[in-house]
Structure 1
Amino acid sequence: MAVMTTRRAIVRRGVPAPDDLAVEEPLILALDGAPIATLMRTPGHDIELAAGWLNVESGVRTADDVAVLRSCRDDDTDRVHIDLRAGVEPPRPRAFVTSAACGVCSADVVDVTPLRRADPHTPGWTIGSDVLVGLPDAMREQQKAFRRTGAVHAAALADTAGVLHVVREDVGRHNAVDKVVGRALLDGLLPATDHLLVVSGRVSFEIVQKAVAAGVAGIVAVSAPSSLAVDLARKQGLLLAGLVRNGTCNLYAGADLVV
């Protein structure tokens, strides 16, 4: 059982006391036995994290593209061993650690067009504004590690009825998204057409990149997006709602999809 939180002795208001902290540890991804990336993440759902990471970084489109996806612990370090099916484009090796704050540190380009595998929504698809603004609160109710530490991000996959099909937490906002996308990939739910990606943090390039690869209809975020995120969302026809708090939101892209 993965441990997502731990305790350290601190001083609070001048008084020694224990405090809950989010765990951050390295995860090595190995392809055909050779390390290709080290991800700094919160332990838990490592297989999903690897699957979601592969959905953007490689030619993996479905669970059938992966022959082996196995987690283990070697030399006191968590690892996920990956073998891809013949003909599936492998990920590019990364020569350095990917931190919990950076999802695309080694990206050479910002063109997400090759990642688009399906239309994000069916003709006539819309979502009710009342449903949209309630998604972050619904996700917050399932953020157990956040309630204990205040130090982890969350992501969720939601439908137009406001049902959250999967919720994951991690110190890295892009890791939380990868865990959600990885679960959907393993369950055969990609592309996630007509679904929304809900995130607890800001929306920057890598979040839109992952949303496009997952095939979702849009992104709903507690915080604001970057200029590039807005431009990419508009170009890809995604809904992008930011600063979704207290029953209100800003619609940065796809305003016509909200009714």
Structure 2
Amino acid sequence: MSRVTARRPTLRITPNGEIRRPDTLAVEEPLEIRIGGQSLTVTMRTPGADIDLVHGFLLSENIIGSADDIVSARYCAGVDQDGHNTYNVLDIELRGPVPLRPRNFLTTGACGVCGKTALDEVRTHTRYPVPAHGPAIDATVLAGMPETLRARQSVFDATGGLHAAGLFTSGGEALAVREDIGRHNAVDKVIGWALRVSRIPAHDLILIVSGRASFELVQKAVMAGIPVLGAVSAPSSLAVDLAAESGLTLVGFLRGDTMNVYSGSERLVIPHASAVGTA
């Protein structure tokens, strides 16, 4: 059985009657992250690319700054009712000691952070500030990235239940695409990939996400030095505030040939068109 999808019995009600059949669902399981045997956090995620997820998470939380900071990552104790390893506990050995603050992270799945404190903390602690200039991105190329991202969402095609994140070059090439039940996990997975292949700071890459742009997603982009974040849906007010303060280009409602640019419009090369006034 796939660890990414699962089948469950379903009663489907239609205008023509009832249909009983199995449905394919996205798997959601806990992943406990340990540092040197000490529990750090538990995140609910879709199994797969766990090593990338942990690398991205630890970078986002400013616990590590490079892949070299991690000596090893191994699955450990954790079995199901049949005695098989669940692969839901990942223990990380770091090269140096790190003071761990239980559950006092910059980002959690439903963190409810205080805006001003979090803004100050990100500005103070990011190791890879967003570059003041570049890269220049053709708005028409940016507009095509969500379609490329969508074409690579194979698990979403089967379940309709996953978010996706992708890292792109300014020319529109998708370097890494990851899916997950949690949008923040999908972002951690692509950032973790970039960290492991020495693409952090990601000053020349664009992050595209399939849903909305929340504060935590902007925060993760800033921590990785990513200069452009594009979202298919809307950003939050605090996401726009952090993007503007950090010098990040934030684009929302990236659909078809239209988009809303909330900050950093100077990075976009916009095709000449007649101006449209406001009422």
- TM-score surpassing 0.5? yes
Larger radius of gyration: 2
Deviation at 1:93, TM superposition (A): 2.1
Aligned to 2:191: 181
The C-alpha deviation readout for 1:57-89, integer Å capped at 9, x for no partner, is 2330101111222234523341111111125x4
Q: Tell me, in whole angstroms, the C-alpha distance in 2 between the residues paired with 1:80 and 1:124.
A: 37
Aligned to 1:93: 102
Q: Tell me, in whole angstroms, the C-alpha distance in 2 between the residues paired with 1:197 and 1:148.
A: 24
Aligned to 2:207: 197
Deviation at 1:17, TM superposition (A): 1.5
Give the one of 168, 172, 177 matched to 1:162.
172
Aligned to 1:5: 5
1:43 aligns with 2:42: no
Question: In the TM superposition, what are the counterparts of 1:93-112 in structure 2 within 5 Å?
Answer: 93-94=102-103, 102=109, 104=111, 109-111=117-119, 112=122
3-state SS of the aligned residue for 1:211?
Answer: helix
* Structure 2 CA distance for partners of 1:139 and 1:247, relative to 1, 3 Å: same
3-state SS of the aligned residue for 2:226?
Answer: coil
Identity between Structure 1 and Structure 2 (%) = 46
Q: Tell me, in whole angstroms, the C-alpha distance in 2 between the residues paired with 1:229 and 1:169.
A: 22
Mean Cα deviation higher: 53-62 or 176-185 = 53-62
Q: Tell me, in whole angstroms, the C-alpha distance in 2 between the residues paired with 1:62 and 1:252.
A: 30
Deviation at 1:95, TM superposition (A): 8.5
3-state SS of the aligned residue for 1:110?
Answer: helix
1:21 aligns with 2:25: yes
Question: In the TM superposition, what are the counterparts of 1:55-94 in structure 2 within 5 Å?
Answer: 55-72=59-76, 74-76=78-80, 77=86, 78-87=88-97, 89-94=98-103
TM-score, scaled relative to structure 1:
0.91
* Structure 2 CA distance for partners of 1:143 and 1:91, relative to 1, 3 Å: farther
Mapped contact 1:121–1:194 kept (Cα < 8 A): no
TM-score, scaled relative to structure 2:
0.85
Aligned to 1:221: 231
3-state SS of the aligned residue for 1:69?
Answer: strand
Q: Tell me, in whole angstroms, the C-alpha distance in 2 between the residues paired with 1:73 and 1:149.
A: 30
Mapped contact 2:165–2:186 kept (Cα < 8 A): yes
Q: Tell me, in whole angstroms, the C-alpha distance in 2 between the residues paired with 1:173 and 1:142.
A: 16
The aligned amino acid for 2:8 is R
After TM superposition, which residue ranges in structure 1, 4 or more long, deviate above 6 angstroms?
Answer: none
The aligned amino acid for 2:118 is V
3-state SS of the aligned residue for 1:148?
Answer: helix
Mapped contact 2:6–2:25 kept (Cα < 8 A): yes
Mean Cα deviation higher: 242-251 or 69-78 = 69-78
Mapped contact 2:70–2:93 kept (Cα < 8 A): yes
Deviation at 1:121, TM superposition (A): 3.7
Unaligned runs of 5+ in 1: none
The aligned amino acid for 2:234 is A
* Structure 2 CA distance for partners of 1:122 and 1:161, relative to 1, 3 Å: farther
